[in-house]
Amino acid sequence: MAVAKEEVNVNKMYGQECILKKEEFMEKYHVKENGLTSSEAQEKINKYGFNEIRQAKPKRWYNYFFESLFSPFNCILLGIVLILIYTDIYLPETPSYANILVIAILVITSTFLDFFEEYRSNKAAQALQNIVAITANVLRDNKEVKIPVKDVTLGDVVLLSAGSMIPADLRIIEAKDLYVGQSSLTGESDSVKKVVNSEISDNDLDSLADLDTICFMGTNVISGSAKGIVIKTGDSTYFGKIAHTISQGKPKTAFQKGIEKISKLLINFMLVLIPLIFLLNIFKHDIITAFTFAVAIAIGITPLLLPVILSSSLSKGAVRMSKKKTIVKKLDSIQNFGAMNILCTDKTGTLTEDKIVLEKYLDIKGDEDIRVLKHAFLNSYFQTGLKGNIDEAVINRGLENNMENYKEKYKKVDEIPFDFSRRRLSVVVSDGTKKQMITKGAVEEILNICSLVDYKGDVFPITKEIKDNIQNISKKLNEDGLRVVAVCQKNDINNIDHFEVSDEKNMVLMGFIGFLDPPKESAKVSIERLNRSGIRVIVLTGDNAEVTRAVCNKVGIKSKKIILGNQIDKLTDDAVLTLLKKVNVFAKLSPIQKARIVRLLRDSGNTVGYMGDGINDSPSLTNSDVGISVDTAVDIAKESADIILLEKDLNVLLDGVTERKTYICKFNEIYKTINKFQFWRSCFCCNSKCFTTIFT
């Protein structure tokens, strides 16, 4: 995505809003922290319009019409018509309009058929896409509500958390460790920290990255949470201002490139063949006869109805696939969807039920301890980021164990949100007398920040023997198919007012909580069906090797050898490709490592599908030939996907693939029939013996 920065003066657009203190900003622009009322919001929408980019609105009907009329093949035929006007009307004593009329009728018929199908297919795709439209969480009437992005208006207070797409240009008024990915606008992969009050002066505002209190439409939250007030919408946003200089979307797919190559090949062949046929015939026939024959051959080798058949097949296929719970966002992706020979997928929710249940809460020696559940409950209940299945499972089990009163007894003081590099989350709570930091996360990461352990209320230093025993307990639980999360806490923090990641140290390990996410009953059959259909399934997960192996063995995926993310980093691309030929399971992968594997598979000549629904799946969805997500996915995953499944099940995906294969097969049969008809039609029109005439 390329941006012409010089066309937009960021200092002029956002300088004042950026450097003003929060209180000064809210007073100057008369905005409220509790958001708009419904009536105020409607008045603003009526005044300023919907939050839409003008350049991104659907094309008008005449755009489709002229694109159909001036397709490469039609341009050749229109050129032939101009020549025939000279040879059939101007030169002969008795003008003949037959050939011109035939070609004109074919061009007009082709144009209108192509126009109607293309226009209708885009309308169908647009209607289907509206089913999975992106939404935003805002405060309306002092309540949190979810509304379509287009209904966000000036003055709205937008609530952000990890995975949120920024729906408009915002001025941040509350933030907790907020990091935003702005690569869609700047091309920089590093996330940018956003704060409430700017840390730079007006004179230093030179680029987009300097605006540390402004979030931009089209970017996404990597980690943290925040509140922001909408200051610009639609065409007034930075994204809107530079929309005409931005080229969005993936590079051309193999299918698109193939169509272009075929078109160019046929046109080049025709440009060479027509003069050759003309020169060979001119010695036996007069100029008009020879040229007429050459023109007839040109008509015969031009696949006139190819665009019609293609767009018709794809659009009807999209509608049919929607009945199989498969929503097509981009019509061109249908071909890649069916041609897919490798499917990369996450484990959770695809191979498993995605209904996590907290099975165990154990102390450091593997015995059940209700205090471990209590600390996990406080962490999950008071965290404000993107609540996942793990948090819901912890809260449900806590409520089953009569922990409802902890909601009132404790108050949240601060939070250090989860991110994919730390792989942990901390919440600071107070019971009125003391503060307590409670952290939960991956076992390795929690062990790295703990120097003490708690066993039945006694606290003592952690030793190598204790650490080894903890790791053995965790590994045993993993081998049983349980996902393990460690829990730790720290009490001596009453003198700290503002908490940072650096405070996550010298903590006391409490124990573990173990979650069971059983494999889907349909997963094994689905894997077998995919394999029979010629689709190889590769599992790319951030989970550990033991849990992944337990699940894969139950669903029939070979997992004798599992490669970890840290091993991938040490290998060259060629070495990774060698592994990919024989290894089907990769565990403990970061988002970048997943994306690298997908890219290598695609670059080696495979048609790769990637199925994911999380924040960390976005790079892989973009890198794949066809990105597949689900309607319950986070916003950025849905935005990156080409295909949306209305049910997270491999059987639904396979039904969609089968439906697509049926339509492409029909397309091939129809095209062969039409092409054969066109060839004989040209012979009939020129009343000759076709190619034998050239050499006799």
Q: Give me the active site residues, please.
A: 346
Q: How many CB atoms lie within 10 A of CB 554?
A: 16
d(CA 573, CA 563): 14
CA distance linking residue 407 with residue 398, whole number of Å: 11
Task: Identify the three-state secondary structure at position 417.
Answer: coil
> How far is the first Cα of the chain from the last one, in angstroms, to the nearest whole number?
58
- Render 81-108 in DSSP notation, one character per residue: HHHHIIIIIISSSS---HHHHHHHHHHH
**CA 430 centroid distance within chain:** 39
CB 541 within 8 A of CB 347: yes
How far is 407 from 381, CA to CA, in rounded Å? 8
DSSP strand E in 9-156: where? 135-140, 143-148
Rounded Cα distance between 159 and 145, Å, is 10
- Rounded CA gap, 333 and 343, in Å? 14
The pair of structure tokens assigned to 285 is: 């026939």
Query: Which of 517, 236, 481 shows the shortest CA–CA distance to 349?
Result: 517
Query: CB-based contacts of 622: which residues, under 8 Å, 6+ apart?
Result: 250, 595, 640
How many CB atoms are closer than 10 A to CB 306? Answer: 21
| Pair 648, 631: CB distance under 8 Å | no
**Cα distance between residue 475 and residue 483, in whole Å:** 10
Q: Collapsing DSSP states into helix, strand and coil, what is residue 280?
A: helix
What tokens does 230 get?
Answer: 């909408």
Structure tokens given for 465: 């023997």
Task: Residue 211: name the closest of 11, 27, 12 by CA.
Answer: 11
Whose structure tokens read 């209190």?
A: 213
The burial of 486, by beta-carbon neighbours within 10 Å (0-12 exposed, 13-18 middle, 19 or more buried), is given as buried
Nearest to 321 by CA among 59, 131, 112: 131
Place of tokens 């670059």: 603
Helix (H) or strand (E) holding 254: helix 254-281
Interatomic CA distance for residues 204 and 182, integer angstroms: 19
Q: Rounded to whole angstroms, how far apart are CA atoms 586 and 595? A: 12
